[in-house]
Structure 1
């Protein structure tokens, strides 16, 4: 009964309550693994900061593999995690980057950053920053407009930046700002990997994501809360990448609309700064 009730809340409630209910369901599902493995009992609780479906360790490991396989991530790289959430990728990057690499993660969730700072207090090569940026789904009280966002990294200081399930919760204007900031902080030859719902003719909705038109070049699954899930036309995304001074070098289609070309749910773009 409880899981069914939580699913109902997760489907129809306002963003904060909906994500807390969905997170509580994820926490219930994770209990057997937490009880069986004492090392996993300190994993963040999703009802406090829900960053999406899946196992904390398994999803983090999958995302690290994708960065290595598709974005050429190396142990010596300086990495920027755009929307680091509660640290599921940082958990994997901490040992991976321990021999010379560096990491900065930021998020608009204060609770997510607090959880990361506690969890990685003994990892000096990992730094976490909170940006109080507005987002209709994750930080509706944010005081900084998306168009005014400044990433916490110096010009040309980053080898690999990535944004997993970030642009799928942003309108195009804010997304363009994030691309421009990515271009600023990347070194020449640096790479940005980001996921999106790249909408194309015949691939503009699915059984799970019933996208409906929103703004000129985008579509959403919930007109009441657009940032819940937003898709953008592929040609407009690619034009925004070029406008930021970046170049698309790979696009792998995700499982949100089968057939998939890699093991992720959303479409994966890899772009480079010339």
Structure 2
């Protein structure tokens, strides 16, 4: 209910822009599936730019969008991959988000979407599948680039380790896994917006009552989880959530490679 109300507020704020710009009138409504603030189109394009600049996204890639939400990254990827002969598979724990994506991209054969009813304390408290039991809907060694944007910021460390392991399973040799996180380190453990509090040995949270609302993980724990999955960390960039920042993304960006 809290996320639905927050989404409705986001929709109200977006109304003037939707009315002024006909191109924005078809954007998904956040009260149906609230995946965060920001201009749907602008944020999607920014994330694709990050994937291109830092994770080597190519139009010929077969990509896996982990937590695709209502399709804000799928939107700019659809044309890019369609031109280059690539393919897209997105999955999410929101049934409404997946339904919206299937309607939006109906008839585009290279765009696929799957719903996984996975439990999450922030987005899907009624989910029937435990995070530790998740199997990504992709075959072994079938993906060039997997990415999870603003996913691990809502997952505890054991769940993150499972998702990294599944990412490694589905990646082709040399494939890349890009993900964002709040990477905590001494002197960079909180900010004015994200006042993280102690939670467990690997993580801090905004609200201990609802840990999945926003979770920051200690950098050594993130690096250990990447290595445990059999991936090699290639890139690490500090985001704008806490200064100093290395790029214009809000969260810290990591890119790992499968040998």
Q: TM-score range by the shorter chain?
A: over 0.9
Within 5 A, what are the aligned runs for 1:170-189?
A: 170-189=155-174
Q: CA deviation at 1:214?
A: 0.8
Which piece of structure 1 moves more, 39-48 or 63-72? 39-48
2:75 to 59, 79, 91: 91
Cα-to-partner distance string for 1:103-146 (whole Å, 9 max, x where unaligned): 00000000000000001102110000000000000000000000
Within 5 A, what are the aligned runs for 1:221-240?
A: 221-240=206-225
Which piece of structure 1 moves more, 196-205 or 25-34? 25-34
Please give the secondary structure, in 1, of the residue aligned with 2:91.
Answer: strand
Q: TM-score, normalised by structure 2?
A: 0.98
Cα-to-partner distance string for 1:129-186 (whole Å, 9 max, x where unaligned): 0000000000000000001000010000000000000000000111000000000000
Task: Check if 1:150 corresponds to 2:155.
Answer: no
Partner of 2:192: 207
Within 5 A, what are the aligned runs for 1:1-274?
A: 17-99=1-83, 100-274=85-259
Cα-to-partner distance string for 1:36-66 (whole Å, 9 max, x where unaligned): 2223211100011000010000000000000
Runs of 4+ residues over 2 Å off in structure 1: none
Query: Please, which runs of 5 or more residues in structure 1 have no aligned partner?
Result: 1-16
Cα distance in structure 1, aligned partners of 2:41 and 2:113: 19
Cα distance in structure 1, aligned partners of 2:170 and 2:181: 21
Query: Please, which runs of 5 or more residues in structure 2 have no aligned partner?
Result: none
Q: CA deviation at 1:29?
A: 1.7
Partner of 1:11: none
Please give the secondary structure, in 2, of the residue aligned with 1:202.
Answer: coil
Q: CA deviation at 1:25?
A: 1.6
Cα-to-partner distance string for 1:71-93 (whole Å, 9 max, x where unaligned): 00000000000000000000000
Cα distance in structure 2, aligned partners of 1:75 and 1:156: 18
Which piece of structure 1 moves more, 175-184 or 26-35? 26-35
**Two-structure CA RMSD over aligned residues (Å):** 0.7
Cα distance in structure 2, aligned partners of 1:124 and 1:57: 22
Number of aligned residue pairs: 258
Please give the secondary structure, in 1, of the residue aligned with 2:82.
Answer: coil
